[in-house]
Amino acid sequence: MNARPALPEWLRTAVFYQIYPQSFLDTNGDGIGDLPGIVSKLDYLHSLGCNALWLNPVFESPFKDAGYDVSNFYKVAPRYGSNADLKRLFAEAHRRDMRVVLDLVAGHTSDQHPWFKASARAGRNRHSDHYIWTDSVWSTFSEPRLLPGHERNGCYLPNFFPCQPALNYGYARIEAGKDWQQPMNAPGPRAVLSELRRIMAFWLDAGCDGFRVDMAASLVKNDPDGKGIRALWKGIRRWLDRDHPEAVLVSEWGNPSMAIAAGFHLDFLLHFGEPAYQHLCAPQVEPKAGAGRGFFDSRGRGDIRVFLDNYLRHWKATQGRGYIALPSGNHDFARFRHRRSEAELRVFLAMLLTMPGVPFIYYGDEIGLEFREGLVSKEGGYSRTGTRTPMQWTAGKNRGFSTAPAAKLYLPTNEQRGQDVAAQEGDPNSLLHTVRALLELRRDFPALGNDGEFEPLHAKPKPYPFVFLRRSDHERIVVAINPCQRGQRLNLPLLKGALPLAARRASVVGQQLRMAGFSFGIFAVSPKQN
């Protein structure tokens, strides 16, 4: 049963940085970030302590959903550069012992993709079954999610926006009377699956190190127990293990136990799916009813247990088989700094970067980039747009992002002083230096690393703080996190003789932990096992 190959070695120490390419660094003055810009910042990312990158989609696209609407999976979008530039990025990253993971939009294409254009024609052709079509255009009245409007007498199923028709990987169960739903082993779904493998092989051969799979759980339809989708990804995993054993699969699933059993190496705990991550930081732009208050609440009204119970369940189910990824944020949600201060972000990052699993830093979170409210939607961003503004490198023109006139920038920069890399490099107390120091500790102490043991020591709704133990064969490290504005004191016998490794407004006196508001402490304690 557990005859699965060992995890790729590099994951043991992986720390990811997520790049939204259009907003990272523009090198040709067109106002849009590009691949040469990423290459030129590899040394910076390496110096930060990151050794792996995830790029949001960089392929040819009409950009109705920021590139998640791919029109050619084999070609880099000209605005980012060329395929040769992407290969150069792989090579330059590898030279620094860094990895690059591409975004694989497996569930859908753009409606401008040639496959879809062919599929939408009336006459049968080799792409007719690449997408999910009903057998009559009138079906739309019974199922409003199905969309008409093409030469073909049928409605297609979108996967996300209407411009993103769902690829046909088949149905796990066919509903009575709906013969247009095809089983997973029908010729159409099988052809689509082999196209997916061809795309993956193409980029792996070009030098990429794996994929973050977009909406990974969405491929198989009418699959309530997930049997179909698990079988699909397990098949891909088997093929990868044979032909590309180092390739890493990261899922946007939000259910690590399920995703890792299906063959992924990493899955994100996110703000959707299981609600637990919301209960950690709740950075919704448009909070959902009942989303609850996050633990990172300056007034201390959250409850870490809601996050933790769920986290521990997934962690126990996946330990040694894959990793939970905790992201500092991503391109789909409000940044942590949405109506929160830099001091609060610092404490959040201290927790994130001392937890087990693989951390992901969303570009700009290391300098406390703020969420921008009130921007007009860009490329299908809607409420996500304020999370996608340019990275800020200097205090100069366009914050060093681009030489284009400000009006031509992908999105406006932020005028907040100090929120740029240059300013923070020069300030030893900056957030940037804290992130670097935390990642250095994570590297130096295996107990704090991706595989170290984890055990909550103090995790109650009240009083804060949240205190946990990380452990490896020869080390025991206590991490204390106080995200609320009130100071906290806590007696913990274990802390007697503790040695601070990093602390911000927190200390140990005797066996008492003393924490100011918005503080954290990381303490080495005696390695003796109990």
Residues lying near ligand GLC in the complex (CB under 6 A) are found at 65, 68, 105, 160, 214-215, 252, 331-332
**Smaller CB distance to ligand GLC: residue 331 or 399?**
331
**Smaller CB distance to Ca ion: residue 25 or 501?**
25
**223 contact choice in ligand GLC, Ca ion, none (CB below 5 to 8 Å, kind-dependent):** none
Q: How far is the CB of 380 from ligand GLC (least distance, A)?
A: 7
**Smaller CB distance to ligand GLC: residue 318 or 330?**
330
Residue nearest to ligand GLC (CB): 68
**420 contact choice in Ca ion, ligand GLC, none (CB below 5 to 8 Å, kind-dependent):** none
In the chain, the amino acid numbered 368 is G
Q: How far is the CB of 80 from Ca ion (least distance, A)?
A: 8
**163 contact choice in Ca ion, ligand GLC, none (CB below 5 to 8 Å, kind-dependent):** none
**Smaller CB distance to ligand GLC: residue 54 or 348?**
54
Q: How far is the CB of 27 from Ca ion (least distance, A)?
A: 6
**68 contact choice in ligand GLC, Ca ion, none (CB below 5 to 8 Å, kind-dependent):** ligand GLC
**Smaller CB distance to ligand GLC: residue 162 or 500?**
162
**Smaller CB distance to ligand GLC: residue 362 or 466?**
362
Cα separations in angstroms, 205 against 197, 445, 521: 12, 34, 44
Q: How far is the CB of 437 from ligand GLC (least distance, A)?
A: 30
What does the alpha-carbon distance between residue 412 and residue 31 come to, in Å, rounded to a whole number? 10
What does the alpha-carbon distance between residue 467 and residue 204 come to, in Å, rounded to a whole number? 41
Q: What are the beta bridge partners of residue 211?
A: 102, 249
Cα separations in angstroms, 101 against 235, 320, 364, 455, 529: 20, 21, 19, 30, 38
Cα separations in angstroms, 292 against 288, 300, 304: 9, 13, 12
**32 contact choice in Ca ion, ligand GLC, none (CB below 5 to 8 Å, kind-dependent):** Ca ion
- Of 383, 381, 386, the residue nearest 364 (C-alpha): 386
What does the alpha-carbon distance between residue 155 and residue 167 come to, in Å, rounded to a whole number? 13
**30 contact choice in ligand GLC, Ca ion, none (CB below 5 to 8 Å, kind-dependent):** Ca ion
Token pair of 401 as six digits: 């992002």
Q: Which residues bind Ca ion (CB under 5 A)?
A: 26, 28, 30, 32, 34
Please provide the size of the chain in residues.
530
**111 contact choice in Ca ion, ligand GLC, none (CB below 5 to 8 Å, kind-dependent):** none
**Smaller CB distance to ligand GLC: residue 61 or 181?**
61
What does the alpha-carbon distance between residue 120 and residue 294 come to, in Å, rounded to a whole number? 45
Q: How far is the CB of 432 from Ca ion (least distance, A)?
A: 24
Cis peptide bond N-terminal to 283, omega within 30: no
Q: Are strands 453-458 and 466-472 parallel, antiparallel or unpaired?
A: antiparallel
Phi, psi of 507 (to 5 degrees): -150, 170
**Smaller CB distance to ligand GLC: residue 158 or 302?**
158
Q: How far is the CB of 201 from ligand GLC (least distance, A)?
A: 22
What does the alpha-carbon distance between residue 19 and residue 457 come to, in Å, rounded to a whole number? 35
Reduced to 3 states (helix: H, G, I; strand: E, B; else coil), residue 11 is helix
What does the alpha-carbon distance between residue 459 and residue 491 come to, in Å, rounded to a whole number? 14
**Smaller CB distance to ligand GLC: residue 41 or 331?**
331
Q: How far is the CB of 19 from ligand GLC (least distance, A)?
A: 14
Q: How far is the CB of 37 from Ca ion (least distance, A)?
A: 7
Question: 379-403: buried (b, 16+ CB within 10 Å) or exposed (e) per residue?
Answer: bbbebbbbbbbbbbbeeeebbbbbe
Q: What are the beta bridge partners of residue 512?
A: 491, 509
**Smaller CB distance to ligand GLC: residue 159 or 424?**
159
**65 contact choice in Ca ion, ligand GLC, none (CB below 5 to 8 Å, kind-dependent):** ligand GLC
**Smaller CB distance to ligand GLC: residue 160 or 311?**
160
Q: Are strands 16-19 and 52-55 parallel, antiparallel or unpaired?
A: parallel
Reduced to 3 states (helix: H, G, I; strand: E, B; else coil), residue 74 is strand
**331 contact choice in Ca ion, ligand GLC, none (CB below 5 to 8 Å, kind-dependent):** ligand GLC
Q: How far is the CB of 479 from ligand GLC (least distance, A)?
A: 29
**332 contact choice in ligand GLC, Ca ion, none (CB below 5 to 8 Å, kind-dependent):** ligand GLC
What does the alpha-carbon distance between residue 77 and residue 66 come to, in Å, rounded to a whole number? 11
Q: How far is the CB of 104 from ligand GLC (least distance, A)?
A: 11
Q: How far is the CB of 60 from ligand GLC (least distance, A)?
A: 15
Q: Cα 12 vs. chain centroid, distance in angstroms? A: 18
Give the CA angle between residues 161, 334, 208 to the nearest 5°. 70
List all residues 6 or more positions away from 220 whose beta carbon is below 8 Å from its beta carbon.
169, 170, 171, 172, 184, 228, 229, 232
**26 contact choice in Ca ion, ligand GLC, none (CB below 5 to 8 Å, kind-dependent):** Ca ion
**267 contact choice in Ca ion, ligand GLC, none (CB below 5 to 8 Å, kind-dependent):** none
Q: How far is the CB of 111 from ligand GLC (least distance, A)?
A: 13
**Smaller CB distance to Ca ion: residue 85 or 342?**
85
Q: Is the dihedral of CA 156, 162, 167, 173 positive or negative?
A: negative
